[in-house]
Amino acid sequence: MKTNSANSSKLTKLSQLPANSAKTMEELRKFSKYFKPYKWNVFFGVLFILFGMIFNLLVPFLVGRAIDELSREVTRESIIFYPLVILGVSLTGAVFLFFQRRLLINASRHIEYDMRRDFYDALVHQPLEYFQNTRVGDLMARATNDLGAIRQIVGPMILYSFQAIFALMVVLPIMLSISVRLTLFLLIPLPLVSITVKYLGQQIYIRFEKIQEFFSGITARSQENLTGARVIRAYAQEDAEIEEFRKLNLEYARKNISLVKFAAAMRPLLFFFIGLSFVIIVAVGVPMAVRGEITAGEFTSFILYLQRMIWYLIALGYVVNLYQRGTASLKRFNAILETEPSINDQPGTKRQPKIKGNIEFRNLNFAYNGTPTLKNINLKIEQGTTVAFVGKTGSGKSTLVSLVPRLLESPDRSVFVDGIPVQNYPLEQLRRSIGFVQQETFLFSNTLADNILFGVEAENGTSKKLPESEDKIKAITNGHISVEKAAAIAGMTEDIRGFPYGYRQLVGERGITLSGGQKQRTAIARAVMRDPKILILDDSLSAVDTLTEEKILHGLRDVRSERTTIIISHRVSTIRDADLICVMHDGEIIERGTHDKLLDLGGEYAALYQRQLLEEEIEATE
């Protein structure tokens, strides 16, 4: 808790600092790469903005010209001509407006798609340690709120920015041509507009960054509560969690209100300062028109151009708002993309010969988060053999097997597969050759068949869409293994027959509709379905009864001879038939041998066996 508080304090202090222009420009430079595939959309979109503004700004000129001409002589031709011309010019401007919005908004959606794809790609390639140190809710907030704010930079911001820039570039010279004196008077409020935009924009940036950080906390809390709904109910903490969320929600609302105060103040202040321009028109412009220094048509055109300039100045304030929000989110988004995975393919890594399944741990010492976890591990596992690891919780069993598929990174040249250091294999090749059933079983919110086939479609190129027929689902094969055979090996056949929809049975989020044992057996079927050369079962039978365990072990015996199998278990009954059993204690292998040899040794394994026999006898007499 102290660490989290310290980090939160640092983030708060950081967010209170003024936006650093150089850093912001660097973030935007990185962002610019997403524009390249859509540069022609942006180019023609900006070009259409220019054409649209030309036609849009012709309207005040034509209105002024019509007033001056009709004030001298009213003719039927003039009455018909000018309305038709103004209508045609307005329609042409509207067409250009349609295409500029279509091009730029489309580009913004495509760029959002590309960014979300890269964001997901960056997360998927992060190792397990990353997600142990990063809140899922924070990542969800960045993938939703932050990406939405960034998209505004691409579409609306570019659109309104260029509209405002082109308008001011054209309008000011026209207004100066009508009256230099009147135009210079109108420029008096502009410094006030600039100061307002700069100050309020900075306040918006600071507050929006705080809001996004706080929103990450709310999302994380929501995700934890929904995932841990069973625990909350079991401990009758519904009211307490509702109250805690209410406080977070209230604080989030307060932070947003703080932002709204500044965001809402920008437009009224701009209206006020620009309203001073109309005061100047009344005070200075009307007498000039009365004296004949400017014509009635010129005065009308001047007012219409002023109205357009007012709108674009307001749009400029909106652009500043979007820019401040977008750059604050862009910094958070880039922080994810710039996080290099600690486990990745090394430069120059080439595909190795097909994996056979020989594994070796050579002088392995490993520390996790600075704490020594494995010490002096030396072990060879031959292809096609079954090796089991047993020991107390925290002895390093799971850590050891996680080093083989590089879920955790081992020291260089300490873990070998077929005599090649695991770091020399492309991650994809290494992991595709391994079927790993972890301690914490995870199933996707999909059908049972989809969970069993997870990853197989990508390997053999088959479609992810399940066949309509149940028999066809059973017959889907990968190598020598079919879906039906994988389910049978995992002891799921009878369970599947009892499901209303068979293999199409939805398992719910994280497999919530299945029992603990059914989830473990589905995970085993998923691993077997990969037809891997190396099969790792990390305490994957802990939730099944001894009878079901025996059935599963019997099914696995048929496939174990074809692959290297590593089993971690607390039950001696699970591992007694292994070719080699290793007893671990405090990160070291303290005993190794077959079941019978270890019993004859009379050490830790024999003591564990005797304890479990006694427990079984006690259970049998109850």
Indicate if the pLDDT at residue 375 is higher than 80: yes
Q: Which of 342, 414, 402 is nearest to 375 (CA)?
A: 414
Note the pLDDT of residue 12. Answer: 38
Spatial CA neighbour of 350 closest among 410, 427, 417:
427
Q: What is the DSSP string of 328-361?
A: HHHHHHHHHHT---SS-PPTT--PPSPP---EEE
The encoded tokens of residue 442 equal: 């995870």
Alpha carbon distance 477, 484 (integer Å):
9
- Per-position DSSP letters for 453-503, written without gaps between them: TTTHHHHH---SSPPSSHHHHHH-EETTEEHHHHHHHTT-HHHHHHSTTGG
If residue 51 lies in a helix (H) or strand (E), which one and from where to where? Answer: helix 39-72
Write down the pLDDT at residue 380.
93
CB 82 within 8 A of CB 74: no
Query: Looking at domain 24-337, which CATH architecture does it have?
Result: Up-down Bundle (1.20)
- Percent of the chain scored above 90 by pLDDT? 8
More confident residue, 209 or 248: 248
The answer to whether residues 590 and 584 touch, using CB atoms and an 8 Å cutoff, is yes
**Cα separation, 584 vs 542, whole angstroms:** 18
- Nearest 5°: the CA angle 41, 29, 22 is 140
Residue 10 has pLDDT above 50, yes or no: no
d(CA 208, CA 7): 19
pLDDT in tens, 38-96: 888 888 988 998 888 888 888 888 888 888 788 777 777 778 888 898 899 889 988 99
Residues 363-371, mean pLDDT to the nearest whole number: 85
Q: Which residues pair with 581 in a beta bridge?
A: 388, 593
Residues of the chain with CATH 3.40.50.300: 352-433+532-622, 444-531
What is the CB-side half-sphere exposure of residue 560 using CA atoms within 13 A?
21
Q: Which of 113-122, 400-409, 506-515 has the lowest mean pLDDT?
A: 506-515
- Which whole number is the average pLDDT over 7-32? 55
pLDDT (tens digit, 9 = 90+) per residue, 329-341?
A: 888 788 788 777 7
Instruction: Give the pLDDT of residue 619.
Output: 63
Give the chain's end-to-end CA distance (angstroms, integer): 45
CA contacts within 13 A on the Cβ side of 40: 1
Distance, in Å, from the CA atom of 203 to the CA atom of 317, rounded to the nearest integer, reads 13
pLDDT computed for residue 7 by the predictor: 37
Pairwise pLDDT comparison (550 vs 507), residue with the higher score = 507
> Distance between CA 432 and CA 350 in Å, rounded?
15
Measured CA to CA, the distance from residue 14 to residue 265 in angstroms comes to 25
Distances (CA, A) of 148 to 143, 242, 318: 8, 28, 16
More confident residue, 114 or 77: 114
Query: Which of 38-42, 215-219, 230-234 reaches the highest mean pLDDT?
Result: 38-42
Tens of pLDDT, residue by residue over 128-185, are 777 767 777 777 777 777 887 788 777 778 888 888 888 888 888 888 888 888 888 8
567 close to 548: Cβ distance less than 8 angstroms: no
> What per-residue confidence (pLDDT) applies to 620?
59
Architecture of domain 444-531: 3-Layer(aba) Sandwich (3.40)
Q: Residue 457: what pLDDT?
A: 59
- pTM for the model stands at 0.68
The answer to whether 429 and 437 have CB atoms below 8 angstroms apart is no
Task: State percent of the chain over pLDDT 70.
Answer: 90
pLDDT band at 3 (very low <50, low <70, confident <90, very high): very low
- What's the pLDDT at 18? 40
559-609, pLDDT tens digit by residue?
766 789 898 888 787 888 888 999 999 989 999 999 889 888 888 888 888
* Residue 306, C-beta contacts closer than 8 angstroms, at least 6 positions apart: 175, 186, 277, 278, 281
Q: Which tokens go with 374? A: 């494995």
Q: What are phi and psi of 577, to 5 degrees?
A: -90, 5
What is the total residue count of the chain?
622
Query: What does each C-alpha distance from 574 to 125, 444, 520, 601 come to in angstroms?
Result: 34, 27, 15, 20
Q: With contact defined as beta carbons under 8 Å apart, do 361 and 582 qualify?
A: no
pLDDT per position as a tens digit, 381-423: 999 898 999 988 888 888 899 899 998 888 889 999 999 999 9
Q: Which helix (H) or strand (E) holds 411?
A: none
pLDDT band at 9 (very low <50, low <70, confident <90, very high): very low
3-state secondary structure of 541: coil
Out of 362-366, 387-391, 484-488, 615-619, pick the least confident: 615-619
Beta carbons within 8 Å of 121's beta carbon, 6+ residues apart: none
Mean pLDDT of 91-103: 89
- Is the sign of the CA dihedral 121, 124, 129, 134 positive or negative? positive
CATH of range 352-433+532-622; options 3.40.50.300, 3.40.50.2300, 1.20.1250.20, 3.20.20.70: 3.40.50.300
Secondary structure class of 235 (helix, strand, coil): coil
Instruction: Specify whether the CB–CB gap between 124 and 65 falls below 8 A.
Output: no
Q: What is the pLDDT of residues 454-477, one digit of tens each?
A: 877 545 545 567 777 778 888 888
User: 36 or 274: whose pLDDT is higher?
Assistant: 36
- Please tell me the predicted confidence (pLDDT) of residue 1: 36
Torsion of CA 375, 380, 383, 384, to 10 degrees: -80
- Decide if 309 contacts 7 (C-beta within 8 A): no
Of 103-112, 409-418, 492-501, give the range with the top mean pLDDT: 409-418
> How much is the pLDDT for 359?
92
pLDDT average, residue stretch 114-125: 84
Q: What is the pLDDT of residues 522-532, one digit of tens each?
A: 888 888 888 88
